[in-house]
């Protein structure tokens, strides 16, 4: 007999689950229809940067909508999209500044799809039609559409659709806490980066078009950063073999790690950067593909026409939201808050580190995670069935704190962490509430 589903008309994420109705947002808080207030310690899914309920954003969107809500990009550009593109390029790594361009989408997955096709056509324009493979990393997430899933290495999210997605090659991630080679940095000599080079050598380098990676891996590994030297080595390998480099900063970009783009922590200058989430802080569905001048030039010298498009690309109202979010970030100097508030959050979480089942607290800026282990010495994870991440989420929820739980941290199946990515407006007192809620959760979940 089937278990009854809810009465919702939405095809929800889980048809058996009741979801509270969110009716209002106030800074770092979400208020539900029953009056309950939740502290948004995860910025939902690392989306909300300026906080909830900022009225200026809605006003800017309404103003744009009243002027012109929509004009198709085959016929018009809009002032709001032009303005936002210039602003995004102005904060991008320096190689994007002179002659870079931006392709706006309605979210991160569309940005990945766009990049995959952009790269393929780049090599057609370059008269290198054999290049089509986009190599990516195990334990990564680049989106939920089929093209984006073909590069994603998130085993759990890929599995049901495996027969429908091509396999272009997945190489090791840079993840020292569970190093896939059982080595230690820096003695490892960046074996994880070499894994990419070995793959390219063994799989006909002339078919490889691009390498895509998250400089700070968000949902899949839980705020795991590249180590010093890694991105430089990856850049060298790409250069040596004529491969384009794509940094997926859908989650870690737009200031979340303390720099406008995370690749700037290592001075990396990719050919393409993907972003989303924070670019409109959740006020509108918006993503972006930043294209470096050398890629743009190849198109300019070729057909100049990208064979790709979405009805809602560069949407005037969505990009107006992006501009208003940019204005708010600038007016309140919110990017400058990320590093100090990241330290504040880390201090609030520091007590957790003594717990025998807390393996590591890690992250950059306001993209942090807590990983849970069965054994602190061997770093052995709990079995999947123990459902630790979800139990932690539920326990933290008892304290009205919202976290972003994930499983599969270690190998795609085993391993648990919760991601924390609060709005940049978070206060020290709110950081403490997050620390206290997780302390409570850890004590509750591991006491049995
Ligand atoms: C690194 C990364 N890339 C791509 C995506 C897909 O973005 P979206 O869910 O907006 O389609 C995500 C979403 O979590 C992400 O974290």
pLDDT digits (tens, 9 = 90+) for 409-431: 999 999 999 999 999 999 999 99
CA–chain centroid gap for 442, Å, is: 26
Quick one: how far is CA 398 from the chain centroid? 27
pLDDT digits (tens, 9 = 90+) for 167-177: 999 999 999 99
Residue 442: closest CA among 384, 399, 409, 385 = 399
In degrees and rounded to multiples of 5, residue 103 shows phi and psi of -110, 115
DSSP letter at 427 equals -
Contact 150, 165 (CB under 8 A): yes
Statement: residue 1 has pLDDT above 60: no
pLDDT at 3 over 80: no
Judged against a pLDDT cut of 90, whether residue 4 lies above it is answered with: no
**Residue 28 pLDDT:** 98
| Mean pLDDT calculated for residue range 260-276 | 98
155 pLDDT band (50/70/90 cuts)?
confident
**Residue 94 backbone phi and psi in degrees, to 5:** -60, -30
Task: Give yes or no for residue 385 having a pLDDT over 60.
Answer: yes
Rounded-to-integer distance, Cα 24 and Cα 33, Å: 8
The minimum-distance atom of ligand 1 relative to the CA of 217 is 1
> In this predicted structure, what is the pLDDT of residue 5?
82
Position 280 scores a pLDDT of 98
Å from CA of 314 to ligand 1 middle: 18
| CA 183–ligand 1 middle distance (angstroms) | 30
pTM here is: 0.98
Residue range 301-311, pLDDT digits in tens: 999 999 999 99
Rama region for 243: left / alpha / beta (φ>0; ψ in -120 to 50; rest) = beta
At residue 17, the pLDDT reads: 93
By CB atoms closer than 10 A (0-12, 13-18, 19+), residue 103 is buried
Mean pLDDT along residues 89-109: 98
pLDDT tens digits, residue range 110-143?
999 999 999 999 999 999 999 999 999 999 999 9
**Scanning the structure block, which residue is given the tokens 């300019």?**
300
pLDDT digits 0-9 by tens, 241-257: 999 999 999 999 999 99
Q: 205 — alpha (psi -120 to 50), left (phi > 0) or beta?
A: alpha
Rounded mean pLDDT, 211-235:
97
Task: Give which of 120, 141, 116 is closest to 129, Cα–Cα.
Answer: 120
DSSP string, 242-273: T-EEEEEETTTTTTTTSSSSGGGGGT---SEE
Read off the pLDDT of each residue in 91-99 and give the average, rounded to a whole number.
Answer: 97
* Residue 6: other Cβ atoms inside 10 A: 13
Calpha distance 204→222 (Å, rounded):
32
Residue 208 pLDDT grade (very low, low, confident, very high; cuts 50, 70, 90): very high
Which of 250, 262, 275, 285, when mutated, tests ligand 1's pocket best, judged by the most ligand atoms within 8 Å of its CB? 250
- pLDDT for 60: 98
Verify whether ligand 1 is closer than 6 Å to residue 42 (CB atom).
Answer: no
CB distance 100 to ligand 1 below 6 Å? no
What average pLDDT is seen over the chain? 97
For residues 376-385, average pLDDT: 97
pLDDT for residue 448: 64
Ligand 1 atom at shortest distance from the alpha carbon of 107: 10
Phi, psi angles (nearest 5°) of residue 219? -65, -35
Q: What is the pLDDT of residues 324-346, one digit of tens each?
A: 999 999 999 999 999 999 999 99
């Amino acid at each position: 007999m089937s278990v009854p589903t809810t009465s919702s008309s939405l095809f929800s994420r889980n048809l058996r689950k009741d979801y509270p109705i969110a009716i209002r947002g106030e800074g770092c808080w979400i208020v539900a229809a029953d009056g309950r207030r939740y502290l948004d310690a995860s910025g939902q899914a690392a989306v909300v940067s300026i906080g909830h309920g900022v009225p200026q954003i809605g006003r800017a969107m309404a103003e744009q909508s009243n002027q012109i809500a929509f004009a198709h990009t085959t016929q018009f550009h809009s002032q709001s999209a032009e303005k936002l593109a210039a602003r995004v390029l102005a904060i991008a790594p320096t190689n994007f500044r002179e002659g870079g361009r931006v392709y706006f989408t309605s979210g991160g997955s569309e940005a990945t799809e766009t990049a995959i096709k952009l790269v393929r056509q780049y090599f057609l324009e370059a008269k290198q039609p054999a290049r089509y493979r986009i190599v990516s990393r195990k334990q990564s997430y680049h989106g939920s559409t089929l093209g984006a899933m073909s590069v994603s290495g998130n085993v759990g999210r890929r599995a049901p659709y495996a027969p429908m997605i091509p396999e272009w090659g997945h190489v090791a991630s840079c993840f020292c806490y569970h190093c896939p080679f059982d080595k230690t940095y820096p003695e490892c000599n960046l074996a994880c980066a070499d894994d990419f080079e070995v793959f390219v050598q063994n799989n006909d380098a002339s078919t490889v078009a691009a390498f895509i990676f998250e400089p700070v891996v968000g949902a899949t590994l839980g705020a795991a950063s590249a180590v010093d030297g890694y991105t430089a080595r990856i850049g060298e390998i790409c250069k040596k073999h004529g491969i384009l480099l794509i940094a997926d900063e859908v989650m870690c970009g737009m200031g979340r790690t303390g720099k406008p783009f995370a690749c700037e922590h290592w001075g990396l200058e990719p050919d393409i950067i993907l972003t989303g989430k924070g670019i409109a802080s959740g006020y509108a569905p918006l993503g972006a593909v930043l294209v470096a001048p050398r890629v743009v030039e190849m198109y300019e010298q070729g057909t100049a026409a990208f064979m790709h498009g979405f009805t809602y690309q560069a949407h005037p109202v969505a990009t107006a939201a992006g501009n208003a979010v940019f204005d708010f970030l600038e007016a309140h100097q919110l990017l400058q808050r990320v590093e100090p508030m990241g330290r504040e959050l880390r201090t609030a979480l520091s007590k957790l580190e003594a717990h025998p089942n807390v393996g590591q607290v890690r992250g950059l800026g306001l993209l942090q995670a807590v990983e849970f282990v069965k054994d602190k010495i061997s770093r052995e994870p709990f079995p999947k069935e123990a459902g630790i991440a979800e139990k932690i989420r539920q326990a933290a929820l008892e304290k009205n704190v919202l976290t972003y739980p994930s499983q599969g941290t270690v190998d795609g199946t085993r391993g648990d962490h919760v991601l924390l990515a609060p709005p940049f407006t978070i206060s020290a007192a709110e950081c403490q509430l997050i620390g206290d809620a997780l302390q409570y959760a850890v004590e509750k979940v591991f006491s049995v």
